[in-house]
Chain A
Amino acid sequence: MTTTLEHPALPEPAILPDFTKPLPSREGDRIIQFREALREAMSEEMRKDSRIFLMGEEVAQYNGAYKISQGMLDEFGPLRIIDSPISENGFAGLAVGAAMYGLRPIIEFMSWSFSLVAADQILNNVPKMLYMSGGQWGCPVVFRGNDGAGGQLGSTHSWCVEGLYANVPGVKIVIPSNPYDAKGLLKTAIADPDPVFFLESERMLGDKAHVPPEEYYIPFGQAALLREGKDCTIVSFGRPVNFCLEADEALRAEGIECDVLDMRTIRPLDIDSIIASVKKTGRIVVVDQCWPFASVASEVVTQVIERAFDWLDHQPLRVNTEDVPTPYSKVLEAEYLPNPRKIAAAVRKTLAS
């Protein structure tokens, strides 16, 4: 059952995906990489809608700096898979104009770190256009790319932008942790008439998992409960979800069982699922690959305190990256990032009497 969304800012009604349809199973043997899942999502949507084009550095002739768009130039041609020069502010702004006119751009940032030079367009124009124009023009662009520490890339290339960008109303922020979610969420992002920041991770692009062959759309604002337990709630999003699962594994050996929630989207934030879990466990650890100060983890903790203060048996804890610029050295970087050891330690702390 698809729904039709009418809004004065839309040139024609938007057909929203059928979110009542049950999602296909995560189990199966169609094992593909994270990058292929992203490619499938874009290609499937582009086949259906000629308004969609992909623009970014090296997306066409080079087949993608990270091979996400490999083969797409061959299928869709140079008018829809478009190499851009290294001018993030320029092509982000171009996408804003094109989206206002009626197209559906997908903009690939080689890294979200580079989105900072496009900050004026993506923070001043993209989220505010609908409001500033009194509802006349929206800005349906999907900006996507690698977010977070890639592996010894140093301070300038390791940005986790969600902490900064989640502060701005007007965008939806999506951050998958696995290939299955990546495909379903990216398809929803492309279909959504609002601007979406889609955060991938260079370190996960080679991750493999079953991705079903049939079309599916994962709704925004619905967390996935990946593990169930009564002792503590672990909340995370993006790549650190995988560290949480490792930590949970280790904790189970000690007899500690956690709920592990993968938020999948930061805006909207499925706070209802978090609260339901906290009311069960009485404890929460939020794992976030951003710096701690004014981070998404801070937001989650605040909302938990606002809504479930009386259910808490221990103060909420955060596991963030350390509050320093991203170091280069392998040993320093490993200690800088959230990891299973730190997560497990935090969980144990909430349980210590």
Chain B
Amino acid sequence: MAQMTTETHSGSPHRKARTHRVSDSLPGETLITWLRDMLLIREFENRCAQAYQQAKIGGFCHLYTGQEAVAVGTIQSLERDDPIVTAYRDHGHALARGMDPGACMAEMFGKITGCAKGKGGSMHMFDKPNWLFGGHGIVGAQTPLGTGLAFAARYEWEVMGKPCPNPGVKPGDKPKKKVSLAYLGDGALNQGALHEAMNLAGLYSLPVIYVVENNGYSMGTAIERGTTMAHDLRKKADAYGIRGEIIDGFDVIDLYDDFKPLVDWCRENQRPAFVDLKTYRYLGHSMSDPQKYRTKEEVDQFKGKDSIDRLASQLMGERKGKDGKPILSEARFTEIQTEVKEAVRKAMDFAEESPTPDVEAELYSDVFINPQPNLSPTRDYIHGVKNPLL
């Protein structure tokens, strides 16, 4: 078994010499929020694992533990109204985008208060107010969607001259140049959907960034066993005339310093990009993965490079505020950890106590927006309750 190392699986060697860091201008409080978000995802996933073992969560459940810096760093590089779409390892993106942890957990518990009223589950986190266009279950299928989001965002200012009436849009608003993010795992690199999507994005000049969360494994298959040019995935983007970057996903501030300028470039030039974002998942592919394909030493090596520890130590050490003191004190850090634990505990309670969907109202609703008689031989589709997020 070939072992992956923190040296070989890293974006650091590709880092360009920086004249300045965009993160330098960020207020200390912003960085503390990032830390909080990352801690929230970590704690949330730990509690998910417990709930799954207690059979409170069903189906497939893919945890994000280890990859927190990716969701937080990339989403923080966006505007609030930039659309994003992701695959099935989606809890991290949902939380980083601002989904209420209660709605996220309740969805997995199959409750009516879940973000999709208990109709989607772990792999299908949708959040319209936060402009998250879903977690998607089929590997790679979300990449044409992300391309379509970019197409629509471009069409909005180029053809319509006015924004589509979406959340946050006020009458009289001018359309803005947006960037869409389409997340995918390294397993999706080998799906035709991605390659068709990248060709379309290159051809139509669409502002979409394909963010490959390269954790080294598509389920149990190490990346070099599944894809060609694994040592330099940018070559895949080259073929479609798309700008490619390799970015390190183990340090959220470095990630931001590399990713934010790329987002700005895509927005300004309305061009696509492709990012090989090096990261690592600490847990199995899903909750039912014995992980025979990698060694404990390998996992431990990456845990030694943990992005949360790293950010915490930066904020409590070399990163100083105007007063010359570290921007995060030990006491505040402990406070945040307690806060996060409390928030997730509340989410668990909320999910636990929420009612299950009413079968009569919900099983047959949300099939059609405009239900008509005789669409089904057995049922007429009725409207259930409104989605709690809307």
A-B contact pairs, 28 of them (CB 8 A): A12-B165, A14-B370, A50-B160, A79-B155, A90-B144, A93-B145, A93-B193, A96-B145, A100-B145, A101-B152, A102-B156, A120-B193, A121-B141, A125-B145, A130-B367, A131-B119, A132-B124, A133-B119, A134-B118, A134-B389, A169-B376, A170-B368, A172-B375, A268-B374, A268-B375, A271-B374, A272-B373, A299-B377
| In the complex, per-residue mask of A106-143: 1 if CB is within 8 Å of any chain B CB, else 0 | 00000000000000110011000111111111101000
Q: Are the CB atoms of A135 and B387 closer together than 8 Å?
A: yes
Is A7 an interface position by the 8 A CB rule? yes
The 9 closest A-B pairs by CB, nearest first: A97-B148, A93-B144, A90-B196, A102-B164, A134-B116, A101-B152, A134-B117, A133-B126, A97-B145
Question: Which of these, A100, A124, A220, A221, contacts B133 with CB under 8 Å?
Answer: A100
Is B223 an interface position by the 8 A CB rule? no
| In the complex, per-residue mask of B204-218: 1 if CB is within 8 Å of any chain A CB, else 0 | 100000000000000
Chain A residues with CB under 8 A of B203? 85
Q: How many A-B residue pairs have CB under 8 A?
A: 210
Q: Are the CB atoms of B147 and A93 closer together than 8 Å?
A: yes
Question: Which of these, A53, A80, A92, A97, contacts B149 with CB under 8 Å?
Answer: A97
CB distance from A5 to the nearest CB of B (A): 6
Which residues of A in the span 61-85 have a Cβ within 8 Å of any Cβ on B?
Answer: 79-80, 82, 84-85
Is A302 an interface position by the 8 A CB rule? yes
Is B365 an interface position by the 8 A CB rule? yes
**Listed residue (A7, A93, A221, A268) with the most chain B CB atoms within 10 angstroms of its CB:** A93
Given A170-B367, A221-B372, A272-B374, A132–B155 Cβ distance below 8 Å? no
CB distance from A286 to the nearest CB of B (A): 14
Q: Are the CB atoms of A89 and B192 closer together than 8 Å?
A: yes
Is B120 an interface position by the 8 A CB rule? yes
Q: Are the CB atoms of B155 and A194 closer together than 8 Å?
A: no
Given A92-B144, A131-B119, A134-B126, A8–B386 Cβ distance below 8 Å? yes
Q: Are the CB atoms of A136 and B144 closer together than 8 Å?
A: no
Is B159 an interface position by the 8 A CB rule? yes
Using A53-B159, A93-B197, A100-B133 as known contacts, list a sample of 20 further A-B pairs with CB atoms less than 8 Å apart, ordered by residue number in A: A11-B165, A53-B155, A79-B159, A85-B199, A90-B144, A91-B196, A99-B148, A101-B152, A101-B164, A103-B151, A121-B144, A125-B141, A132-B119, A134-B117, A135-B366, A172-B368, A193-B370, A221-B374, A268-B373, A272-B373
**Listed residue (B85, B117, B128, B376) with the most chain A CB atoms within 10 angstroms of its CB:** B128
Given A12-B165, A136-B116, A87–B387 Cβ distance below 8 Å? no
Question: Which of these, A10, A270, A303, contacts B377 with CB under 8 Å?
Answer: A303
| In the complex, per-residue mask of B109-150: 1 if CB is within 8 Å of any chain A CB, else 0 | 000001111111000101110000110101001011111111
Q: Are the CB atoms of A94 and B197 closer together than 8 Å?
A: yes
Q: Are the CB atoms of B200 and A85 closer together than 8 Å?
A: yes
Is A161 an interface position by the 8 A CB rule? no
CB distance from A35 to the nearest CB of B (A): 25
CB distance from B100 to the nearest CB of A (A): 14
Chain B residues with CB under 8 A of A95? 148
User: CB-nearest residue of chain B relative to A49?
Assistant: B160
Chain B residues with CB under 8 A of A169? 367, 375-376
Is A192 an interface position by the 8 A CB rule? yes
In the assembled complex, the Cα of A68 lies from the Cα of B136 at a distance in Å of 34
Q: Are the CB atoms of A270 and B374 closer together than 8 Å?
A: yes
User: CB-nearest residue of chain A relative to B200?
Assistant: A90
Q: Are the CB atoms of A90 and B193 closer together than 8 Å?
A: yes
CB distance from B147 to the nearest CB of A (A): 5
In the assembled complex, the Cα of A85 lies from the Cα of B203 at a distance in Å of 9
Total chain A interface residues with beta-carbon distance under 8 A: 66
Chain A residues with CB under 8 A of B144? 89-94, 96-97, 121
Chain A residues with CB under 8 A of B133? 97, 100-101, 137
Question: Which of these, A79, A97, A137, A267, contacts B146 with CB under 8 Å?
Answer: A97
Interface of B is mostly: loop
Is B153 an interface position by the 8 A CB rule? yes
Is B2 an interface position by the 8 A CB rule? no
Question: Which of these, A94, A220, A302, contacts B148 with CB under 8 Å?
Answer: A94
Q: Are the CB atoms of B138 and A130 closer together than 8 Å?
A: no
Q: Are the CB atoms of B370 and A133 closer together than 8 Å?
A: no
| In the complex, per-residue mask of A167-180: 1 if CB is within 8 Å of any chain B CB, else 0 | 00110100000000
Question: Which of these, B117, B120, B141, B369, contacts A193 with CB under 8 Å?
Answer: B369
Is A98 an interface position by the 8 A CB rule? yes
Q: Are the CB atoms of B193 and A89 closer together than 8 Å?
A: yes
In the assembled complex, the Cα of A280 lies from the Cα of B150 at a distance in Å of 55
Q: Are the CB atoms of B377 and A194 closer together than 8 Å?
A: no
Is B390 an interface position by the 8 A CB rule? yes
Q: Are the CB atoms of B145 and A220 closer together than 8 Å?
A: no
Is B101 an interface position by the 8 A CB rule? no
Q: Are the CB atoms of A87 and B148 closer together than 8 Å?
A: no
| In the complex, per-residue mask of B168-190: 1 if CB is within 8 Å of any chain A CB, else 0 | 00000000000010000000000
Is B158 an interface position by the 8 A CB rule? yes
Is B384 an interface position by the 8 A CB rule? yes
Q: Are the CB atoms of A50 and B159 closer together than 8 Å?
A: yes
Chain A residues with CB under 8 A of B366? 130-131, 133-135
Question: Which of these, B83, B128, B193, B204, contacts A136 with CB under 8 Å?
Answer: B128
CB distance from B208 to the nearest CB of A (A): 9
User: CB-nearest residue of chain A relative to B204?
Assistant: A82
Chain B residues with CB under 8 A of A97? 85, 133, 144-152, 180
Is B166 an interface position by the 8 A CB rule? yes
Q: Are the CB atoms of B149 and A101 closer together than 8 Å?
A: yes
User: CB-nearest residue of chain B relative to A303?
Assistant: B377
CB distance from B310 to the nearest CB of A (A): 35
Question: Which of these, A53, A80, A101, A306, contacts B166 with CB under 8 Å?
Answer: A101
CB distance from A167 to the nearest CB of B (A): 11
Q: Are the CB atoms of A87 and B200 closer together than 8 Å?
A: yes
CB distance from A222 to the nearest CB of B (A): 10
User: CB-nearest residue of chain A relative to B384?
Assistant: A135
Is A153 an interface position by the 8 A CB rule? no
Given A130-B367, A136-B389, A84–B200 Cβ distance below 8 Å? yes
